[in-house]
Amino acid sequence: MVGVTRRSSTRVAVLAIGLVLISGMSSLSRSGPSESATAAETAPTSAAATATAPTPTCPRPKLTSTRATGGTTQFGWLLQPGPSTTQQRDWLQYNVTAGTVICDSVTLTNSSRRAVSVQLYAADAYNIAADGGFAFTAFHQRTRGVGTWITLPITKVTVASGRAVTIPIVVRVPATVTPGDTAGGVVARETRVRHGQKVSGVDVGVRAGVGVRLYANVAGVRRPELSLTDLELHLRGGLLSRFLGSSTAIVTYRVGNAGNVRLSPTSGGKVTTRTRTIGLPEHEFAELLPGSPRIAVEDSVHGLRWGSLIGRVRVEVTVTADGAEAVTMEKSVWRVPWLSLIALAAAIALIATVLVVRRRRHRVTGDVAKDAEDAEELDPVAS
């Protein structure tokens, strides 16, 4: 990966039989029937409405049915926040303190031509480590965060074609809750298994699921903090690169949220050799939740070649986010310059050879001259 790009504000998650594919579901937009539903990965904005005022108890739960209006999904139905007296909502968002009780609702709209039966469950939210996408825990997965706050008085609902049903929910904030931002949601999981495309010749069943995000901002000390870890630089090219240099390098690192505030960080950096500097791609993470797995990033760098032959290759990565202190890491790789060493050794050998040859020539010339002098000093012999 490598980098994460911003996607639309909605996502529909699908469950395959035997495989958990409902990990990434979220609130859905109210655009129109033609717009597909995908997992929202943009951070909440000020346009999000706060839920109804906290009350110590909630009314007796009941379903309210109306005519279906608004958007839909590829499955013909969607789940969205229930009606609000203030304004339309794309998700559920609350400012809470310990012990708060909130009465709210979600609405399931069926725009298809057949009745839809779903099972609702409360879920925690987290970021997918591979790309940072927003995801919900699966149906059978145990919840430990916001999912434990949510009570669903009604968990199984059947909605007739062309109708919308409003379903009550209750949010009870624990007395021991810690300050900061947290997220979860309500997920509707279709009871019917649909026939999907074959995978390796095997029939696959698909179970549709749609979720509504729930954001809770717990009062207290807010501590925005980024983390940048596991920075690595790998020069590619094998044995040949030892002589001709590495033209490509792989940079990997992980970005995380070490604080208690939702952050939307950006990462970038550069790779530097003795001959040039190459910039790394910039990555924007739409939303990192506190406590979520760190997001893995991988970048390929091209064009190093001769710069990697003459010593150190250095990588520098910086992660920034509004409200948090920037984090920077550096790492260097020393590539032994075999070609340079061989050339230097050859030059030394050549110089040594020239010196030896010259010395031998000088010695031979000296011996010849000495022999000539000795011949001149000899007296002629009379016969």
- Express each pLDDT in 205-227 by its tens digit: 778 899 999 999 999 999 999 99
Beta-bridge partner residues of 233: 251
The two structure tokens encoding residue 312: 């150190």
Q: Give the HSE-up count for residue 210: Cα atoms under 13 Å, Cβ half-sphere.
A: 28
Beta-bridge partner residues of 165: 65, 108
Tracing tokens 């010259």 back to the chain, one arrives at 358
- Digit-coded pLDDT (tens) for 101-157: 999 999 999 999 999 999 999 999 999 988 889 999 999 999 999 999 999 999 999
The two structure tokens encoding residue 207: 């179970």
One-letter identity of residue 167: I
Mean per-residue pLDDT for 53-59?
Answer: 64
DSSP assignment of 95-159 equals: EE-TT-EEEEEEEEEE-SSS-EEEEEEEEEEEE-TTT--EEE--TTSPP-SGGGTEE-S--EEEE
User: What pLDDT does residue 355 have?
Assistant: 86
| Helical ranges in the chain per DSSP H | 241-244, 338-376
User: What pLDDT does residue 241 have?
Assistant: 57
Instruction: Determine the Cα–Cα distance for residues 375 and 292; give it in Å rounded to an integer.
Output: 99
**CA 3 to chain CA centroid, nearest Å:** 6
How does residue 12 score in pLDDT terms, banded at 50, 70 and 90?
A: very low
Q: Which of 209, 383, 226, 200 is CA-nearest to residue 294?
A: 226
Tracing tokens 């979520």 back to the chain, one arrives at 292
Burial class (CB in 10 A: 0-12, 13-18, 19+), 2: middle
Edge-to-edge strand list for the sheet holding 226-235: 226-235, 248-257, 295-302
- Averaged pLDDT of the chain: 79
Cβ proximity of 211 and 10 under 8 Å: no
pTM score: 0.71
- Digit-coded pLDDT (tens) for 320-349: 999 999 999 999 887 666 666 777 788 898
Instruction: Determine the Cα–Cα distance for residues 188 and 165; give it in Å rounded to an integer.
Output: 12
The two structure tokens encoding residue 178: 């810690």
